[in-house]
Amino acid sequence: NFQRQRAVLRQDADKELASRHAYPQWWISQVQAQYGGKSDAILAAGNQHPPMTLRVNTRHCSVATYLEMLSQANMTARLVAPGALILDHPVAVEKLPKFEEGWVSVQDAGAQFAFGLLDVKAGMRVLDACAAPGGKATHLLEKADIKLVAVDRDETRLQRVRENLRRTGLE
């Protein structure tokens, strides 16, 4: 039935905002109340694939050096925040220069601000209570010599933390 009536069924489904935007109605109502006429654009933007953002591990190299490594690998990126690069064209992580050696990690630019906001300093003891997949934990360890305890309630996701720590050579 769907194959025969695909266009009509999709058009009917799109009449419902929750279906069109793939958000629960309560969220749509909140966005509409706060942003009015801009709400459709905001909701649509929330369903777009985010750019591939990298965090350069400055224990291994400078951002400028990593940009040059990307260029040599025929990849282009732009700096969007200190240490944060957005690739012009996403690639599989295995294709990123020195990814397996921990020179770079994939992490949203916004998440990279956590280190500065937390004001972490060498010698501190830090608890990452929702650590998976380990981006903020490895970032903290890259930037400061701290004692970090990383926990997560999901053992499967916690394995990702272990993998990222292994890859970056951090504990």
Per-residue pLDDT of 3-41, as tens digits, reads: 888 888 777 766 777 777 788 999 999 999 999 999 989
**For the chain, percent helix, then strand, then coil, each to nearest 5?**
50, 15, 35
* Cα–Cα distance measured from residue 21 to residue 40, given in angstroms and rounded to the nearest whole number: 8
Phi, psi angle pair for 84, to nearest 5°: -105, 125
pLDDT value of residue 1: 85
Torsion of CA 117, 118, 120, 125, to 10 degrees: -170
Whole-Å CA distances, 95 to 15, 46, 62, 104: 42, 27, 19, 12
Is the pLDDT at 92 greater than 90? The verdict is yes
Examine the pLDDT at 79 and tell me if it is beyond 80. Answer: yes
